[in-house]
Structure 1
Amino acid sequence: MTKWSYDTNGTPGLDSVHAHALVCVTFSVYILAQVLRRQVRVTGLVVTKFFMIHVMNLAMLKLEAGVWGLVFMTCTLLYFYETLPVRYLPVQEKVVLITGCDRGIGHNLAKQLDQLGFYVYAGCLQKGSEGEQELVRNCSSRLTTLQLDVCQLEQVENAVNKVTNELGNKELWGIVNNAGICFVGNVETMTTADIQKLITVNYLGPVNICKAFFPLLRKGKGRLVNISSNAGLAPVPEMGVYCASKAALATMTEVWRYELQKWGIKVATIIPSGYKTGILAYDKQATAERWWRSASDAVKEDYGKECFYAKPKTEALLSPDLSPILDALVDALLSKSPKAYYYRGIFSRALPFLYLHLPTTLGDLVMKVIGDWFISKPLALQKSSKKF
């Protein structure tokens, strides 16, 4: 029975030893039961965290942290429980369609799912490209590459017909909308064609895929996983069109998450940040020259040619290790209870949090710094600043 003690003011306080022991023992027994029921995957990280929690508990008792220590420990245990890796579903002839497999996340995911035993349809922008040929060479016969430009309805229709005809007794388990592009620039410097292309690939592309493949996915009662961006949850200067396209995808994914529940389909959004995915690997020099030729005289005069050349200073800081994103994708496809959102990378949560919670004055300073990373100061503003 938990004992109560009184401080010097006569206020009742919970005895630390008994309360901490009761909470930790109860939690430990529950987690052990989850492991024995095979509801939780035991990993080295889980064991380490579990050990550290008990060390922390002993430290709390030594420091006689009292009620506030108990509150802190309770919150820590709840966080640990929320992050426990649940048991995966068996692969067992599960079929997954992935878009954007020429390189980056889609390419690596296709190889990883093939190794896990999935049947993979890897949509590539260009059949015969280096990335597509590598998949053909290095993956098993369970992987099939598709010519799949998500903007071309004819190619989408051909893909759904091919998958339908080849499924046999299998069912489509997952759709991963990964294909995406990014241009750094504002709506004045970018061409209208590139603005429309960006919106089409990043937002209408997933809509095209889902509209075509949902009938198959409903039969399998599987998973829809869309890859958005933290730039879809917070504005990034000089990337407005990209932000808008990813914001549209994030919102549409949430709508699908509610709409598809009645069909037994689980939906997840991946929010990566700080990884070298290849999305910024487009020819910035050629793109800038093309934009400059198409710009109006007023835009050329005000901005100057330097503003058409994207110079992301953060590319060297991007991590080439895509494993955190790939692990999140596998979890979204195989976990019994996938999360609605998977944040990967320090800025995936930080940027939206700063935007939403910082006072506007401070938030504006942060966004100004971010914008200055990408584009030079407009020529007209440089001239005006020299006058003062």
Structure 2
Amino acid sequence: MTRRSAKFLPPGDKYVLVTGASSGLGRACALQLARVGFRVFAGVRRMSDGEDLAALSPSGRIRPVRIDVTDEGSVAGAVKEITGTAGGAGLWGLVNNAGIAVSAPLECVTPQRMRQQLDTNVIGQLTVTQGVLPLLRRSGGRVVNVTSGLGSVALPFLGAYAAAQFAKEAMSDVLRRELRRSGVGVCVVQPGAITTPIWGKLTDAARRDFDDLPAEVAEPYRTAFSRFLDSSAQQGDTGTSPDDFARTVYRALTAAEPRTRYQVGKDARSLYLLKRVLPDRAMDRRLRAITD
């Protein structure tokens, strides 16, 4: 047995489900996994997006599956379709990538927006995981939960998003411990800032929501939050690409002994290390410039 084969498991036509595959990181991930030999169920909310994605993989290894992670009926329908296709082979991997980002001072986050954030990034991910666990057990496969660098450190004005990512980190730890005896592995991929459509969507939605707030609630934050949103448009320019993320997911799916967490990008690694070494007050001082 070669050194490489001892460390990595070949894709070998195994089935993988990637949620949130319409654009950005999910799209790059689906394409990369298909290129290296997986058969990919690309979870999309609109089938037209899935058809466009499948057209980029002439090998036929990408099969679009309509799935809205916030809709239990949609999840059940997708699981039924995947089960009918994968059959006895089961599902080797679930990449829980679908998500949204709500940005606002926490005082300004409406209950509706907080529910939407948690429903998409946490409850929806658990619903999908529960649905496909029988298929993952069949193959002894693994779950890859995509969080972010903000699953380690909560930044001002991204409290709702960070709360969801912290919750997904905790959920990942519990699943890893509970599923150990079943042979299903669980790991986390934490990407930092990467240029994807999520940044434009985040700032546009945040400005609309903020403009709808009562003046007495919004005014104390207006200057700092506006500056934060202006800078967010540049946050993806870190030198880390969607392909870097996709390659990391590939490693998490094929490592014979996967790590529990993978950081993607220098900023994600820095946040992870800072959280481990800095006291809370020291971290507060480092982040003070955002709100001053």
Is 1:189 matched up with 2:153? Answer: no
CA distance in 2, matches of 1:229, 1:299: 29
CA distance in 2, matches of 1:192, 1:291: 14
In the other structure, the counterpart of 1:343 is 263
Q: Deviations over 1:119-145 (max 9, x none)?
A: 11000122213xx33312111323210
Name the Cα RMSD after superposition.
2.2
Aligned AA (1:182): A
Is 1:203 matched up with 2:110? Answer: no
Q: 1:363 to 1:159 in 2, by over 3 A?
A: same
Aligned AA (1:117): G
* 1:262 CA drift (Å): 0.5
Is 1:363 matched up with 2:283? Answer: yes
Q: 1:133 to 1:320 in 2, by over 3 A?
A: farther
Q: Deviations over 1:106-160 (max 9, x none)?
A: 101111111222111000122213xx33312111323210111111111100000
The answer to whether the 8 A contact 1:292-1:305 is kept is no
In the other structure, the counterpart of 2:178 is 259
In the other structure, the counterpart of 2:247 is 327
From 111, 119, 122, the counterpart of 2:31: 111
* 1:297 CA drift (Å): 4.5
SS of the equivalent of 2:47 reads coil
Q: 1:260 to 1:359 in 2, by over 3 A?
A: closer
Identity %: 28
CA distance in 2, matches of 1:286, 1:344: 26
In the other structure, the counterpart of 1:380 is none
From 84, 98, 108, the counterpart of 1:179: 98
CA distance in 2, matches of 1:100, 1:208: 14
* 1:198 CA drift (Å): 1.0
The answer to whether the 8 A contact 1:185-1:308 is kept is no
SS of the equivalent of 1:336 reads coil
Aligned AA (1:105): L
The answer to whether the 8 A contact 1:292-1:308 is kept is no
SS of the equivalent of 1:343 reads strand
Q: 1:308 to 1:211 in 2, by over 3 A?
A: farther
* 1:364 CA drift (Å): 2.0
SS of the equivalent of 1:312 reads helix
* 1:192 CA drift (Å): 2.5
Is 1:90 matched up with 2:10? Answer: yes
SS of the equivalent of 2:17 reads strand
Q: 1:304 to 1:165 in 2, by over 3 A?
A: same
Q: 1:193 to 1:221 in 2, by over 3 A?
A: same
Aligned AA (1:199): L
From 131, 149, 157, the counterpart of 1:212: 131
SS of the equivalent of 1:338 reads coil
The answer to whether the 8 A contact 1:93-1:119 is kept is yes
Q: Deviations over 1:279-298 (max 9, x none)?
A: 222063454234422x2353
Q: 1:228 to 1:286 in 2, by over 3 A?
A: closer
The answer to whether the 8 A contact 1:189-1:308 is kept is no
* 1:161 CA drift (Å): 0.6
* 1:105 CA drift (Å): 1.4
In the other structure, the counterpart of 1:155 is 74
Q: Deviations over 1:155-184 (max 9, x none)?
A: 100000111112234221110001111122
SS of the equivalent of 1:226 reads strand
The answer to whether the 8 A contact 2:7-2:257 is kept is no
Between 255-264 and 269-278, the greater mean CA deviation after superposition: 269-278
* 1:100 CA drift (Å): 0.5
Unaligned runs of 5+ in 2: none
* 1:94 CA drift (Å): 0.6
From 205, 215, 229, the counterpart of 2:148: 229
Unaligned runs of 5+ in 1: 1-36, 42-85, 378-388
Aligned AA (2:38): F
CA distance in 2, matches of 1:158, 1:148: 8
The answer to whether the 8 A contact 1:121-1:146 is kept is yes
Q: 1:354 to 1:125 in 2, by over 3 A?
A: same
Structure number with bigger Rg: 1
The answer to whether the 8 A contact 1:97-1:123 is kept is yes
Q: Deviations over 1:80-100 (max 9, x none)?
A: xxxxxx532222231001100
CA distance in 2, matches of 1:138, 1:167: 22
CA distance in 2, matches of 1:192, 1:212: 27
Q: 1:89 to 1:227 in 2, by over 3 A?
A: same
CA distance in 2, matches of 1:254, 1:197: 23
Aligned AA (1:237): P
Aligned residues between the structures: 289
The answer to whether the 8 A contact 1:230-1:352 is kept is yes
